[in-house]
Amino acid sequence: MNTLIKNGLVLLHGESGWTCEKRDVLIAGNRIERIAPDVEPQDCTVIDATGMLAMPGLINAHTHAYMTFHRNYADDMAFFDWLDKVQVLEDYMTEEDVYWATLLAACEMIRSGTTCFVDMTIKSAQETDGPRSAAAGAVRDSGMRAVISRGLAGVADSEESIMKFGQAVREMELFKDESRLQFIHGPHAPYSCMADYLQKLTQSCKERGIGQTIHLSESRTEMAGVAEDHGTTPIQYVDGLGVFDVPVIAAHCVYATDEDIRLMAEKGVSVALNPKSNMKLGNGFAPAQKFLDAGINVCLGTDGCGSNNSLNLFSEMNVASLVYKGATEQAQCVSAADVLRMATLNGAKAIGREGELGVLAEGALADVILVNLNEPQFMPANNIVSGLVYSAKGSEVDTVIVDGELLMEHRRLVSIDEAKVFEECRAIMERLDAQVQERL
């Protein structure tokens, strides 16, 4: 079935940057077929977008969707104390828990205009159907698009590592026909994943033609630890192991040095900024403008709900547009237009889908959101790009389409039974709380 979005504005990106034009958008199957004024509806569903802006769905370049259960669970704590507390909860999570937690994440992401996310999760589905299908199954059932990695830590040849790696690879096989799902590897971090494992995962990426995502230079403690153990920075250390020889999304990079930045630019590493998480855990501010100046592909993530505590990319864009100005005392740095690119085009590039995602263009995949401009925070509408970044809440997203399929219509979720998800998640959280209490 085709869909025609009529009477709205469309957010386009060209050589001169962002523009808003009065255009209709015709979706045929899962792709955008036409963007033009006054397209006549023929044999298609018409969405009246009067007073709305059609724009590319946002891409969350770094999150842990299963951590919705950690939301508002361990707040106002130092980084490594926090990590200890959240890991206790994780220990008790099953595949089913991850499935429901990821569906809860999908509810929040769809409602705030995210259509695609890069996930680092803790279970790999070994079944394709039902709640045991973990994050992959939840994404498939939600209708969203995602790039899923299994977070892996430890050494390469332990029994546990061999098992988890095998599960991750088997999951890729099981879901290989799901066109909205991609898989990459997810070595957790240089301090948690030993050298041999980082090398094994990189080798596996090469064999499978996939990329990987890793936490890098997130905290001062990590910097000090890697300096002591390896005499260099985390970024230069993993580069020395060949990690950057495949496409990489490096999350955080708060403490990237000038040499690290030069190196990441040279190797084509994408950096996923997570400003809210970095502040909440007391880690500080990444050198975002330096990344941009070096030509690095900078994208934007929310991190998990344990350290944010939301998955709202509009809120993350807002914060990203502000904190780097604050940290550098330069009001001109990291502009609204830059931030909007991070959450759209650059996210698409980071997952190897440049031109197909993160833009509204003829031939691109139909991941489209409609934003209701008829709210006071957008009035009197001096500049729409500024409005999206500086003034929007995320709740202005009225309609969400992924791969041509309607996932939210006038703020009603179509693909997910939200009440059922809330009910399941509340019950699971009660059980997890009891299990954690018992252990303490």
What residues from 79 to 98 belong to the interface with its own copies (CB under 8 A)? 79, 82
Closer to its own copies by CB, 89 or 122: give it. 89
Is residue 99 part of the contact set for its own copies (CB under 8 A)? no
438 is in an annotated binding site: no
284 vs 352, beta carbon nearer its own copies? 284
Q: How far apart are CA 293 and CA 297, in angstroms?
A: 10
Query: 150 a known binding residue?
Result: yes
* Residues 304, 308, 309, 315, CA torsion sign: negative
Binding window for its own copies (CB under 8 A); candidates: 15-23, 159-167, 172-180, 314-322: 314-322
Which is closer to its own copies, CB of 153 or CB of 322? Answer: 322
Residue 213's SS3 state is: strand
Judged by CB under 8 A, the chain residues 139 through 178 that form the site for its own copies are: none
Measured CA to CA in angstroms, residue 87 lies from 10, 223, 306, 343, 406 at distances of 43, 21, 11, 29, 36
Chain residues 270-289 in contact with its own copies, contact rule CB under 8 A = 275-276, 278-285
Give dist(CA 31, CA 355) in Å, integer: 12
Residue 385 beta carbon to its own copies: minimum distance, rounded to whole angstroms: 8
Rg over alpha carbons for the chain, rounded to the nearest Å, is: 21
User: Does the CA dihedral 430-433-439-440 come out positive or negative?
Assistant: negative
CB 51 to its own copies: min, Å: 10
| Terminal C-alpha separation, the chain | 55
Letter for the amino acid at 47? Answer: I
In order of 127, 181, 365, the CA distances from 176 in angstroms are 13, 8, 19
Site for its own copies, residues 5 to 24, rule: CB under 8 A: none
| Binds its own copies by CB under 8 A, chosen from 297, 310, 344, 399 | 310
Q: Which residues within the stretch 318-337 sit at the binding site for its own copies (CB under 8 A)? A: 318-319, 321-323, 325-333, 335-336
Q: Both tokens of residue 397?
A: 């997203």
Closest approach of its own copies to the CB of residue 129, in Å: 24
**Minimum Å distance from CB 159 to its own copies?**
33
Residue from 1, 17, 45, 75 in contact with its own copies (CB under 8 A) = 75
CB of 41 to its own copies, least distance (A): 28
Should residue 212 be labelled a site residue for its own copies when binding is judged by CB under 8 A?
no
64 is in an annotated binding site: yes
Using CB under 8 A as the binding rule, the residues of this chain from 369 to 398 that contact its own copies are 374-377, 379-384, 386-387, 390-391, 393-395
Partners of 406 in the β-ladder: 401
Q: Does 308 bind its own copies (CB under 8 A)?
A: yes
Asked if 297 and 253 count as a contact pair (C-beta separation under 8 A), the reply is no
Q: Write the DSSP symbol of residue 354.
A: B
Q: Rounded to an integer, what distance in angstroms lies between the CA atom of residue 79 and that of residue 232?
A: 22
Applying CB under 8 A, among 23, 62, 111, 180 the residue interacting with its own copies is 111
Tell me if 430 is assigned to a ligand binding site: no
Q: Of the ranges 63-71, 199-207, 236-244, 287-295, which one interacts with its own copies (CB under 8 A)? A: 63-71
By the rule CB under 8 A, 300 interacts with its own copies: no
Instruction: Find out whether 306 and 70 touch, Cβ atoms under 8 Å.
Output: yes
Which SS3 state, helix, strand or coil, does residue 255 take?
A: coil
* 322 versus 361: smaller Cβ distance to its own copies: 322
**Would you call the peptide bond into 297 cis, given omega within 30 degrees of 0 as the criterion?**
no
- Beta bridge partners, 14, equal 17
Residue 90 labelled as part of a binding site: yes
Closer to its own copies by Cβ: residue 60 or 161? 60
241-277: burial string, b at 16+ Cβ within 10 Å, e else: bebbebbbbbbbbbbbbeebbebbbebebbbbbbbbb
Nearer to its own copies, 212 or 277 (CB): 277
Which CB, 115 or 283, lies closer to its own copies? 283
Chain mean position to CA 290? 22
Binding-site entries for substrate = 90, 150, 188, 218, 303
Binding-site entries = 62, 64, 90, 150, 188, 215, 218, 303
